[in-house]
Structure 1
């Protein structure tokens, strides 16, 4: 019996040794390029869809709470489900900031941005098909129509910059920076979206995402002050990347004060 056990152990060791010799599987072209872009399209589509519907069908008594919870929970769910496929960006400022902090290759940046904008269009189109025409018109198709005059510009632009900086910083610290990386990243990002909407919804509408602004603007044909929802979020994303690169990042990411 002892001899048989020794032989079995030798066989097990040989098998383990053979497995160790096997080269790691190389991802296919589909897995490296096409699948991540499809995940960005699908994830952004459903995020924008559910976000638009929550605004169009918002119960007046709920105020900002309904859109805040819907957007935040949608982000958390989609990020958790697709993180290992594409990284779950679903937002151009996130993609730009993650690239600047070394979290993705330059060759994937442009395909991701295009995928997110396509997803924004599809999501907004799906919401238009779902809701009643009357509710759609009353809500301007969930396009950001809160800005009515130039007097509101400063507050709205600053709000989009600062709030996008906050949520992008959470993304970078929870999902990219090794020192602070956390399995709770989907929850943290979702919570940050919720608190941003609750805090600044009446100032700028709390877009924080050009893809979320672009799709409804196209579907509803509403472009007033649309540039705010590109300039603000992208500037906020760049500011967050600078904070992580210069101050908060680990030794691999931080450019100075090593």
Structure 2
């Protein structure tokens, strides 16, 4: 892999090296610094970002108790995600979502050794953010809103799964085409991603809550002890991410990303 500057594009994790002419004299120090910036620092950024995102998400739902409509949660989730991608994206890629990390890996935007650590720290970040929300809000408000847990109509499980698949497909398509694919990448990707989350919650929140993120579902489920139909918020988002990866790799990706139908 070609060497690049020691920062990464949003949603893309690549090899990091020291700038030319500034190599460390001690190889051990250099190796430790590269390992920190390539593995530990991105994982810490994902942990912090996911914690803050899930906290804002849960707090917006708990604070919206008694109000009908999804405007407050939709705006809160979208704004929080956009800001976090802007400030942490150059360190970790700004995923904060296991489904997004899976899609980014399958589209060639990150290395496999980072995939499992990312998912693990995202799950722990989800628990941390949900725990902070539980500690801050009055217990009566927390109980009345199930701590921001996504609830499902047992009579509409199929519709709920489909809604999560479609909404995550929309989100991961914006990530893939706006931040990974070089032919269509845009500096507006963080804002576009945040707006996509807002639009999805406004449109599909009434069906599934607009999760699109297993970490966002897992954290509140642990904090509140509410696991009813939790599998939906893994199956739906991961299927949506897989569909996006297939479309990107087969049809929509640039020459580097696309696996077939390349120009000679």
| TM-score normalized by the length of structure 1 | 0.89
In the TM superposition, what is the alpha-carbon distance from 1:22 to its structure 2 partner? Answer: 2.0
How many pairs align? 237
2:21 maps to which residue? Answer: 22
Instruction: Write the distance in 2 (CA, Å) between the matches of 1:249 and 1:24.
Output: 36
Match of 1:39 in 2: 45
Give distance in 1, aligned partners of 2:189 and 2:66.
31
* Residue of 145, 149, 153 corresponding to 1:148: 153
Q: How many Å separate the matches in 1 of 2:139 and 2:66?
A: 18
Instruction: Give 1:135's match in structure 2, choosing from 131, 141, 144.
Output: 141
Aligned residue in 1 for 2:207: 203
Question: Does the 8 Å contact 2:169/2:241 carry over to 1?
Answer: yes
1:61: how far off? 4.1
Kindly report which structure 2 residues correspond to 1:55-134, keeping only aligned pairs within 5 A, or say none. 55-58=61-64, 60-61=66-67, 63-134=69-140
CA distance in 2 between partners of 1:76 and 1:55 (Å): 18
Q: Shift of the alpha carbon at 1:30?
A: 1.1
Give the distance between the partners of 1:48 and 1:125, measured in 2 at CA.
Answer: 10
The reply on whether 1:224 has 2:228 as its aligned counterpart is yes
In terms of fraction of residues, the more helix-rich structure is 1
Unaligned runs of 5+ in 2: 1-18, 25-29
Deviations 1:50-97 (A, max 9, x none): 100000111544621000000000000000000110000000011111
TM-score by length of 2: 0.87
Partner SS state of residue 208, structure 2: coil
Counterpart Cα distance in 2 of 1:246 and 1:234 = 18
Alpha-carbon spacing, 1:21–1:78, altered in 2? closer, same or farther (3 Å): closer
Q: What is the CA–CA distance in structure 1 between the aligned matches of 2:109 and 2:41, rounded to whole Å?
A: 18
Separation in 1, partners of 2:165, 2:137: 31
Larger radius of gyration between Structure 1 and Structure 2: 1
Conservation of the 8 A alpha-carbon contact between 2:70 and 2:201: yes
Indicate the larger mover: 60-69 or 109-118. 60-69
